Amino acid sequence: MKKQKYNIQVFAAGVLSLKETPGGYFKMKLAASGIAKAARPGQFISLQVNASGMPLMRRPMGIFSANKGAVEILFKAAGKGTEMLSRKKQGESVSVLGPLGNGFSVREELRHAILVAGGYGVSPIAFLYEELRKRKITTTVIIGAKNKKLIFKEGFSNPIITTEDGSEGFKGLVTERLNAACAGFACGSSAVFACGPVPMLKAAAEVSEKHGIECQVSMESLMACGVGVCLSCVCAVKEGMDTGYKRICADGPVFDSREIVWRT
């Protein structure tokens, strides 16, 4: 019998710290050495916010950092589950499942990366940014938000900020800044990595494709299992002449933008 490799863990992780951050986020640090060692940027974990079944499903969260036996997540208290998560205390534990998903793929030839983040999409982008720095790959970081109050830019040096109301950085959407950034780099040795709301991902895909630059988008959906067994989290993809479906949790969450069939 073939020896099986157990590379997805599920266990009760201790909460090492929980802090509020600029942009209205919560940053939670969890003791999870196995996940910290294995995790790649763009992967996520899934947390059981309440063991008594309300809410029933785990909540998926991108990995913000993975260092020295700990994993950090960055989240918004957006609804009942994340609200409960934001009230956890240091020393309590939360069941985590992970690491999940494929993560971003960084080609050998990559010399320059353009990172585009919207909302909590900044979390996996921050992890990727650290990784690229270690690999001496230069970056242009573009962070977009509705207004100044929602910006999280900790850890990035000189990010380009865009706000819809102009309260910080450039007024408008990330698209224009991305367009300018793409124009400055050769397509073969650069790539765009985007994580954020779907309209932003779609716009990032269009701009990158126009410039002939590879674009990786991190998709999201409601997830029941997070590991690929339930088929609830699919997105439409091009399959030859047809449309098929791929699982965002297991085949993604990161996809080549050219593969996605964007819903209008």
Partner 1 sequence: MADLKVKIAGIKMKNPVMLASGTCGFGEEFSRIFDLNLLGGIIVKGTTLKPRAGNKPPRAAETPYGMLNSIGLQNPGVFAVINEKLPFLRQFDLPVFVNIAGNSKEEYAELARLLGNAKGVSALEVNISCPNVKHKNSGLFCQDLGDVYAITRAVKRQSRVPVFVKLSAEVSDFKETVKTAVRAGADGLSLINTLRGMAIDIKTGKPKLANIIGGLSGPAIKPVGIRAVYEAFSQVKVPIIGMGGIASAEDALEYLIAGASAVAVGTASFYDPLTPISITKGLKKYFEDKPSDSVSKIRGRISF
Ligand X SMILES: Cc1cc2nc3c(=O)[nH]c(=O)nc-3n(C[C@H](O)[C@H](O)[C@H](O)COP(=O)(O)O)c2cc1C
Label the pairing between strands 138-145 and 160-163.
parallel
Q: Which is nearer to partner 1, 27 or 247 (CB)?
A: 247
Strands across the sheet containing 254-256? 170-171, 160-163, 138-145, 112-118, 190-195, 214-218, 254-256
Under rule CB under 6 A, how many of the chain's residues touch ligand FES? 13
Alpha carbon of residue 190 to chain centroid: 19
Candidates 250, 253, 255, 257; binder of partner 1 (CB under 8 A) is 250
Candidates 14, 34, 69, 228; binder of partner 1 (CB under 8 A) is 228
Does position 167 interact with partner 1 (CB under 8 A)? The reply is no
Candidates 44, 156, 193, 255; binder of ligand FAD (CB under 6 A) is 44
Candidates 56, 78, 183, 186; binder of partner 1 (CB under 8 A) is 56
Helix (H) or strand (E) holding 183: helix 174-183
Candidates 55, 69, 155, 197; binder of partner 1 (CB under 8 A) is 55
Q: Which is nearer to ligand FAD, 16 or 224 (CB)?
A: 224
Footprint of ligand X on 142-181 (CB under 6 A): none
Q: What is the 3-state secondary structure (H, E, C) of 2-50?
A: CCCCCCCEEEEEEEEEEEEECCCEEEEEEECHHHHHHCCCCCEEEEECC
Does position 81 interact with ligand FAD (CB under 6 A)? The reply is yes
Footprint of ligand X on 211-240 (CB under 6 A): 230, 232
Is the distance from CB of 143 to CB of 162 less than 8 angstroms?
yes
Partners of 47 in beta bridges: 59, 96
Q: Which is nearer to ligand FAD, 25 or 185 (CB)?
A: 25
Burial class (CB in 10 A: 0-12, 13-18, 19+), 186: exposed
Footprint of ligand FES on 216-245 (CB under 6 A): 223-226, 228-233
Least distance (Å) between residue 259 CB and ligand X: 24
Nearest to 192 by CA among 248, 118, 116: 116
Footprint of ligand FES on 127-146 (CB under 6 A): none
Least distance (Å) between residue 204 CB and ligand FAD: 17
Is the distance from CB of 234 to CB of 246 less than 8 angstroms?
yes
Contact of residue 61 among ligand FAD, ligand FES, ligand X, none (CB under 5-8 Å per partner type): ligand FAD
Nearest to 46 by CA among 35, 58, 37: 58
Least distance (Å) between residue 228 CB and ligand X: 12
First to last CA, the chain: 48
Cα(208)–Cα(183) distance, rounded to whole angstroms? 10
Positions in the binding site for partner 1 (CB under 8 A) = 1-2, 4-10, 48, 53-58, 95, 97, 221-222, 224-236, 242-245, 250
Positions in the binding site for ligand FES (CB under 6 A) = 223-226, 228-233, 247, 249-250
